[in-house]
Amino acid sequence: MNIILLLFFLLLFGISYILGKFDILSPWFMLCAMFLLCYAVVLLNTYNWDVQYSYKTIIYILISVLAWGEGSLIAKMFPVSKKFKIKYIRFRPLFNQYPVFIIAPISCILAFVYCGNMFALVGWKGNMTSTLRAIYDATVSGASPGFIANQFFAIVEVFAYLSIFYMLKFSVKVRRLIIYCIPIIAYSICILFSTDRNTLLRLFIYSISIYILLFQKKYSRNINFKILAKILPVTACCVLVFFFVGKAKNYQSNFGTAISIYSGSGLYGFNLFVNKFENSDLLHGFSSFYTILGVLQKMGMHIKDLTPFRFDSFIGYISTNGYYFSTNVYTALKRYLEDFGVTGILVIPLMVGFFYERFYCILRRKKSDLVEIYYAMLIYPIVYFPITEQLFTRMHLGSVYEICWMYILYHIFINQQESLEVR
């Protein structure tokens, strides 16, 4: 069974690469590549996890990945309309020559205020590890530093993203790299105090994505060994940082176990979930769309308590060799399945695949820096798909604020000649 699934992922990897015209940022190819990578991690843990996939799990995964590919193919069948135009309006931003000299100090101030507010949630617990763990427990329980502090975090995040874009876009000289890294460092400190490692991974995924997009625009859509040689060391460093941030929150797992569980347990967790799933108790959207429903609830709509749907519950498993396995990640498919059954894992990936491919087609046709930035910001749900659901989960007001701040601050500090107007 394991060999069948491996061959399936390898086949789809090759097909998606060819249909995507050898573009590694093609949405369906990225999805297939991530499934293959995560499954490789599962196979490395075959002995400890006692890996045995059911036929039902394989069929569900097959349906969802093929449905995504079908959505991509449908999106490609319709060319981007010529009526969809970007109108260029020449104007001079407030700060466009050396934006970092404005961005850097603002980032430091806002980061200081945000971290101070996060610290105030729990106070000092004797050491940094205990303090960060207390912050994590508090935020999981629903505690928040407040609306203003959260907006400061969003602004620092956008400044970090813009700094990365600016450095890569305009080939910043070495002597100025330090000051351009200040917003990124400020944001990294905010991430540490937020105790949300997913935010760190989003930063990394965005950085790699924007680098590849700019490289492709300047040279070719085909990626050579030169760019891969630059990406792999950065990837390794990010994985190490991700692990040590977890250690800062007092996680006890060693490096191999931590990385395996985070990247590979989604697929095997989904297998465990499928074996226990009863199709008669569907949630009808409360699992997949609980954040959207939460926004509607805040707007006054009467909706039942959504707290049980915020996090997936843990599922434990003891292998035949006595190894205990516990996880609360089940791929994105788990939420779609428990909401709508087989229909969910067929229809939702198809629609998501269509959305991403359509977005990518617009990006390739319009060549707009802002569109590229937004696409790079939206890639992480694809990367996370074999791990957990992140597209609909992130559809909350915080994401709306991030999008708005990016639009505003991009035009203030970066853009030199264009304002997007769709007509």
pLDDT digits (tens, 9 = 90+) for 52-69: 788 899 999 999 999 999
Q: How many domains does the structure of the chain reveal? A: 1
Mean of pLDDT values over 325-354: 92
Domain-embedded: residue 199:
yes
55: amino acid identity, one letter: Y
Residue 94: the pLDDT is 52
Domain-embedded: residue 201:
yes
Confidence of residue 340 (pLDDT cuts 50, 70, 90): very high
Mean of pLDDT values over 280-300: 86
Domain-embedded: residue 398:
no
Domain-embedded: residue 49:
yes
Domain-embedded: residue 290:
no
Confidence of residue 224 (pLDDT cuts 50, 70, 90): low
Phi, psi (deg, nearest 5) at residue 86: -105, 115
Lowest mean pLDDT across 7-16, 137-146, 211-220: 211-220
Query: Of the candidates 269, 247, 251, which has an alpha carbon nearest to the alpha carbon of residue 316?
Result: 269
Residue 250: the pLDDT is 58
Domain-embedded: residue 395:
no
pLDDT at 420 over 50: no
Mean of pLDDT values over 179-199: 89
Enclosing domain of residue 211: 1-277+312-390+407-423
Q: Is the full-model pTM beyond 0.85?
A: yes
Residue 46: the pLDDT is 78
Domain-embedded: residue 306:
no
Residue 41: the pLDDT is 86
Lowest mean pLDDT across 31-35, 163-167, 280-284, 399-403: 280-284
Residue 48: the pLDDT is 76
Mean of pLDDT values over 388-392: 92
8 A C-beta contact, residue 153 and residue 190: yes
Report which of residues 84 and 154 the model is more confident about: 154
Residue 10: the pLDDT is 93
Mean of pLDDT values over 14-23: 90
Confidence of residue 418 (pLDDT cuts 50, 70, 90): very low
Mean of pLDDT values over 272-298: 86
Buried b or exposed e, range 111-132, using 16+ CB within 10 angstroms: bebbbebbbebbeeeeeeeebb
What is the DSSP-derived secondary structure letter of residue 22?
Answer: T
Residue 244: the pLDDT is 67
Residue 157: the pLDDT is 95
pLDDT at 127 over 90: no
Distance CA 334, CA 270 (A): 6
Report which of residues 257 and 178 the model is more confident about: 178
pLDDT at 99 over 60: yes
41: amino acid identity, one letter: V
Report which of residues 236 and 306 the model is more confident about: 306
8 A C-beta contact, residue 409 and residue 155: yes
How high is the mean pLDDT of the chain?
A: 83
Which alpha helices (H) appear in 219-304, and where do they start and end? Answer: 225-248, 255-276, 290-298
Domain-embedded: residue 372:
yes
